[in-house]
Amino acid sequence: MKNNLKRISALVVVLLLIGLVLLTLYLSVTGSPYFMASMVSMFLLPILIYSYMFIYRLMHKEDPSGGSRDAQKGNNRNVSSKNT
């Protein structure tokens, strides 16, 4: 189910970017005053998407041994301490 959600969201983003390119082309041909705004968003949207994905990967980096960063720091809430 998770892979299907990723595929659907990737398809939506690709369709959005294709639509943005076609909209920019249409606005340039018609000489609309919104052409520059569309051109800027056509370049900034993919950069923002990439930067969000990059920051997410940095924040949720997995430990090579299979544990998460929180477990590595000792912030794992599932560990109970026993006094013996």
Report yes or no on 67 lying in a domain. Answer: no
Q: Say if 52 falls within a structural domain.
A: yes
pLDDT, mean of residues 54-78: 68
Beta bridge partners of 62: 68
How long, in residues, is the chain? Answer: 84
Structural domain that includes position 6:
2-61
Q: Which residue has the higher pLDDT, 57 or 71?
A: 57
Asked whether residue 84 is domain-assigned, the answer is no
Q: Is residue 57 included in any domain, yes or no?
A: yes
Do 52 and 60 contact (CB within 8 A), yes or no?
no
* Mean per-residue pLDDT, 15-38: 93
Query: pLDDT tens, 33-54?
Result: 999 999 999 999 889 989 998 9
Half-sphere exposure of 52 (CA within 13 A, CB side): 6
In a domain, 36, yes or no: yes
Count of domains forming the chain: 1
